């Protein structure tokens, strides 16, 4: 198996990882690209374009394989997989993490009537048409793909599991992470992960403002992203002393950091359901912690919280309701513990890495088997 990826890290800087490496029998090929970062759109476009060029060159230099699995992040990188399929006659599986250009239109970055949107929309449809199978992260995304003209039999719905078994529950919240950051004695409300343009923070900051009189409550943002600067500036503008920030944590430290929270926050804007599925929920559940979601009620994460009874949903624009739910948990430590236990149990039964990777492997095997059958029947007809 070969994996082609970037040498750059998530925040944009170039890493010191080797260009070529074999890990557990997988050959990893890391290609170079510009590392201008994610702060400006022009920088992103340049980083993406140079990565696409070097990744395509590396892919085409590799020996032929039977199946190519391509992601949707960064946007339209799956076009490399479609080109590989055309040249090497391999099967193509598109693993859809998010749907572009729909997200760009939902966020107001592109007007649906613009030439840019129409061109990118056609590119997305071309990729969908070339994929032998599309792996969707949930029912909402599957429905979006069907509305794009993808037949139901070519879609496999496999929810994410990241970060999987790397996270284990901590017996209590008094973890070394709390000690290092001096937050023992607080009820910690944590937002961990990417602070992207699709996430909603006004409601969270509004709740922090309503709870600023509570010296025992701390809102902790762990991570980074396009909106981190806005959240930090808004925190200063509002004079919120009950809000702190920490950088991204390494995978090896996730159990410690996620376990330091009493309750976690997930947020999503109203018009992006089905375009992505916030994967941070699975790490939260693996850590055995409850979650409060700020977002629409009709989406994959909201339904998972309802089924597992491990959290609640608060509509965007209602900071008073979010503050009320946090205070409810403050008064009920027994409820916090019970919801955390249910979260971990649901993760083990329904969301574990073993289960989800098994479903993904089955989708790959079915695609390869169908391709072989088609080639065999084609040979018989000739």
| Domain CATH for 274 | 3.40.50.2000
> What average pLDDT does the structure give for the chain?
90
Q: Is the pLDDT of residue 201 over 90?
A: yes
Range of the domain at 98: 2-161+354-381
Q: Is the pLDDT of residue 11 over 80?
A: no
pLDDT at 382: 45
Q: What is the rounded CA–CA span in Å between residue 343 and residue 309?
A: 8
pLDDT at 12: 55
pLDDT at 302: 92
Q: Are residues 365 and 340 located together in one domain of the fold?
A: no
Q: Are residues 171 and 284 located together in one domain of the fold?
A: yes
DSSP 8-state assignment for residue 106? H
Average pLDDT over residues 217-223: 97
DSSP 8-state assignment for residue 209? H
Which distant-in-sequence residues (6+ apart) come within 8 Å of 322 by Cβ?
203, 204, 206, 207, 292, 294, 314
Average pLDDT over residues 145-163: 90
Q: Are residues 181 and 318 located together in one domain of the fold?
A: yes
Q: What is the rounded CA–CA span in Å between residue 33 and residue 18?
A: 14
Residue with tokens 């070969």: 2
Other Cβ atoms closer than 10 A to 234: 17
Q: What is the rounded CA–CA span in Å between residue 41 and residue 101?
A: 15
Q: Are residues 210 and 285 located together in one domain of the fold?
A: yes
Beta partners for residue 279, in sequence order: none
Average pLDDT over residues 90-104: 93
**Phi, psi at 361, each rounded to 5°:** -60, -40
Q: Are residues 256 and 343 located together in one domain of the fold?
A: yes
Q: Are residues 334 and 362 located together in one domain of the fold?
A: no
Please state the separation of Cα 48 from the chain's center in Å. Answer: 18
Q: How many domains does the chain have?
A: 2
Q: What is the rounded CA–CA span in Å between residue 284 and residue 5?
A: 27
pLDDT at 380: 47
**pLDDT tens digits, residue range 274-300?**
898 888 999 999 999 999 999 998 888
Q: Are residues 174 and 246 located together in one domain of the fold?
A: yes
Q: Are residues 171 and 153 located together in one domain of the fold?
A: no
pLDDT at 37: 73
Q: Are residues 41 and 150 located together in one domain of the fold?
A: yes
Which distant-in-sequence residues (6+ apart) come within 8 Å of 206 by Cβ?
319, 320, 322, 323
Q: Are residues 236 and 327 located together in one domain of the fold?
A: yes
Other Cβ atoms closer than 10 A to 24: 5
**pLDDT tens digits, residue range 226-262?**
899 999 999 999 999 999 999 999 988 999 999 999 9
pLDDT at 7: 85
Q: Are residues 93 and 170 located together in one domain of the fold?
A: no
Widest CA span of the chain, in angstroms? Answer: 79
Average pLDDT over residues 98-121: 92
pLDDT at 89: 87
**Phi, psi at 84, each rounded to 5°:** -60, -40
Q: Are residues 309 and 207 located together in one domain of the fold?
A: yes
Task: Please give the model's pTM, rounded to 2 decimal places.
Answer: 0.86
Of residues 57 and 298, more confidence is placed in: 57
**pLDDT tens digits, residue range 120-147?**
999 999 999 999 999 999 999 999 999 9
Which distant-in-sequence residues (6+ apart) come within 8 Å of 158 by Cβ?
135, 136, 137, 356, 359, 360, 363
pLDDT at 351: 87
**CA distance to 75, 112, 137, 143, 338, per residue, from 149 (Å):** 19, 18, 18, 10, 43
């Amino acid at each position: 198996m070969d994996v082609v990826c970037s040498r750059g890290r998530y925040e944009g800087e170039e890493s010191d990882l080797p260009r070529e490496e074999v890990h557990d029998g997988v050959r990893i090929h890391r290609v170079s690209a510009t590392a201008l970062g994610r702060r400006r759109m022009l920088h992103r476009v340049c980083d993406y374009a140079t990565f696409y060029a070097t990744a395509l060159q590396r892919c085409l230099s590799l020996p032929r394989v039977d199946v190519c699995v391509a992601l949707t992040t960064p946007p339209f990188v799956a076009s490399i997989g479609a080109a590989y399929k055309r040249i090497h006659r391999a099967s193509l599986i598109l693993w859809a993490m998010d749907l572009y250009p729909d997200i760009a239109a939902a966020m107001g970055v592109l007007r649906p009537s613009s030439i840019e949107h129409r061109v990118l929309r056609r590119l997305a449809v071309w990729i969908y048409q070339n994929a032998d199978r599309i792996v969707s992260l949930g029912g909402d995304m599957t429905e979006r793909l069907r509305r794009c003209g993808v037949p139901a039999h070519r879609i496999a719905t496999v929810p994410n599991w990241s970060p999987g078994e790397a996270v284990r529950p901590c017996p209590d919240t008094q973890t070394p992470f709390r000690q290092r950051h001096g937050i023992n004695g607080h009820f910690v409300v944590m937002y961990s992960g990417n602070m992207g343009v699709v996430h909603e923070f006004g409601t969270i900051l509004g709740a922090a403002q309503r709870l600023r009189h509570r010296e025992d409550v701390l809102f902790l943002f762990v991570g980074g992203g396009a909106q981190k600067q806005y959240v930090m500036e808004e925190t200063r503008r509002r004079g919120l002393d009950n809000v702190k920030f920490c950088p991204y944590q390494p995978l090896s430290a996730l159990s410690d950091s996620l376990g330091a929270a009493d309750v976690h926050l997930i947020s999503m804007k109203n018009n992006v359901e089905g375009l992505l599925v916030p994967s941070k929920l699975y790490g939260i559940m693996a850590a055995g912690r409850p979650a409060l979601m700020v977002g629409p009620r009709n989406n994959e994460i909201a339904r998972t919280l309802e089924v597992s009874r491990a959290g609640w949903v608060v509509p965007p624009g209602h900071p008073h309701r979010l503050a009320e739910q946090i205070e409810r948990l403050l008064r009920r430590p027994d409820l916090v513990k019970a919801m955390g236990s249910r979260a971990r149990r649901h993760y083990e039964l329904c969301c574990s890495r073993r289960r989800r990777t098994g479903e993904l492997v089955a989708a790959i095997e079915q695609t390869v088997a169908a391709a072989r059958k088609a080639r065999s029947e084609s040979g018989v007809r000739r």
